[in-house]
Amino acid sequence: MPDPLTVHAVLARFDRALGLDVSPRPLHGSRDVSRETQQRAVVQVKDVVHAPAVVRAVVAVPAGSREERVARLAEIESRHATTCQLCAVSNVKGKLVFGEGAPDAEIMFVGEVPGEPEERAGRPFMGPAGEKLDEMIRAMGLTRADVYIASVLKSRLPGDRAPTPEDIAACGPYLLEQVLAVQPRVLVTLGGPATKWICGVDAGISRIRGTWQTWTPPAGASCPSIPVMPTYHPSYVLRTYTRQVRAEVWSDLRAVLARIGRAVPTRVAATDA
Ligand code: URA
């Protein structure tokens, strides 16, 4: 079994294929970069052809208006649907689950892989895990329309098998394009695999949750680093429905609200108790 690929390894592979010196900066040592002092821009990925013939052109452009972000997300969605070597090429039969929410959301939630309810609806987090995520978002005083939700993989896997590093290497980069298009102030990774893909940190979720990490965009993208709060996946919360797990999730979500200067609602029984 090959070592799980992180986003950094994948981007480095792209860069090597291109002969470009646009390798990502090291992630560790998580320095926070103030958004205000960063030039807000996104990377546009053009002419993406997947490995082995990877062609990537990185162009820094201003982050843009809400409408521009909508257009960028629509472009990524249609390109993903036709070029993703997992979703477009494998014999995935159901609907793709690209992601949804406010194109200029302050908070972006990142899950792992859609299941049957999501595949049927073509929307992320639709089943019991979705109800739990909705509850978490409501506890924050927000609605789905206020945030952006996507997952590392955008199609259900046969037999709901666990994602392989190859699946993630194929589909995961489109999530990064979504992050660059939305440029949230905070990413909330749900569970270990999403945390690993976004942060490049291979620590168990119960160890890393609640500790601020950083997503560093690839060099060449003049987009700020984004703080990441790893927390438990809603499915885990449902499976391990203990007072402690729920209190930990609520503590993580409160930290997110505090980080972006939003009022922190007082104790919410459904999530906290
Ligand atoms: N779990 C995820 O991680 N993503 C979804 O979209 C649904 C369930």
Q: What is the mean pLDDT of residues 166-179?
A: 95
pLDDT band with cut points at 50, 70 and 90 for residue 67: very high
245 lines ligand 1 (CB under 6 A): no
CB burial of 27-56 (b: ≥16 within 10 Å; e: otherwise) equals beebeeeeeeeeeebbbbbeebebeeebeb
Q: Given the CA of residue 97, which atom of ligand 1 is nearest to it?
A: 6
Q: Higher-confidence residue: 4 or 195?
A: 195
Q: How far apart are CA 271 and CA 243, in angstroms?
A: 9
124 lines ligand 1 (CB under 6 A): yes
Q: Higher-confidence residue: 41 or 211?
A: 211
- Mean of pLDDT over the chain: 80
Task: Report pLDDT for 9.
Answer: 47
Q: Domain coordinates of the chain in residue numbers?
A: 7-262
Q: Given the CA of residue 111, which atom of ligand 1 is nearest to it?
A: 3
Task: Report pLDDT for 142.
Answer: 97
Task: Report pLDDT for 272.
Answer: 52
Q: How far apart are CA 220 and CA 120, in angstroms?
A: 38
Q: Is pLDDT at 246 greater than 50 in this prediction?
A: yes
137 lines ligand 1 (CB under 6 A): no
Q: Which of 97, 112, 187, 196 to mutate to test the pocket of ligand 1 (most atoms within 8 A of CB)?
A: 112
Could you tell me what percent of the chain has a pLDDT over 90?
A: 67
112 lines ligand 1 (CB under 6 A): yes
Task: Report pLDDT for 42.
Answer: 29
Handedness of CA 154, 68, 190, 200 (dihedral sign): positive
- Report the range of poorest mean pLDDT among 132-141, 219-228, 230-239: 219-228
Task: Report pLDDT for 208.
Answer: 97
- Which of helix, strand or coil describes residue 170? helix
Q: Is pLDDT at 132 greater than 70 in this prediction?
A: yes
Q: Are 225 and 213 in contact (CB under 8 A)?
A: no
Q: Are 176 and 185 in contact (CB under 8 A)?
A: no
Q: What is the mean pLDDT of residues 111-123?
A: 97
Q: Higher-confidence residue: 108 or 9?
A: 108
Q: What is the mean pLDDT of residues 233-244?
A: 97
Q: Is pLDDT at 56 greater than 50 in this prediction?
A: no
192 lines ligand 1 (CB under 6 A): no
pLDDT band with cut points at 50, 70 and 90 for residue 93: confident
Task: Report pLDDT for 33.
Answer: 27
Q: Are 111 and 101 in contact (CB under 8 A)?
A: no
Cα of 87 to ligand 1 centre, how many Å?
15
Task: Report pLDDT for 29.
Answer: 30
Q: Are 88 and 82 in contact (CB under 8 A)?
A: yes
Cα of 115 to ligand 1 centre, how many Å?
6
Q: Given the CA of residue 149, which atom of ligand 1 is nearest to it?
A: 6
111 lines ligand 1 (CB under 6 A): yes
Protein residue whose Cα sits closest to atom 5 of ligand 1: 114
151 lines ligand 1 (CB under 6 A): yes
Q: Is pLDDT at 124 greater than 60 in this prediction?
A: yes
- Report the range of poorest mean pLDDT among 41-45, 245-249, 251-255: 41-45
Task: Report pLDDT for 24.
Answer: 33
pLDDT band with cut points at 50, 70 and 90 for residue 267: low
CA-closest candidate to residue 248, choices 226, 266, 273: 273
Superfamily grouping for domain 7-262? Uracil-DNA glycosylase-like domain (3.40.470.10)
Q: Given the CA of residue 194, which atom of ligand 1 is nearest to it?
A: 3
Q: Which of 100, 125, 178 to mutate to test the pocket of ligand 1 (most atoms within 8 A of CB)?
A: 125
Cα of 197 to ligand 1 centre, how many Å?
15
Q: What is the mean pLDDT of residues 213-220?
A: 89
Q: Are 179 and 187 in contact (CB under 8 A)?
A: yes
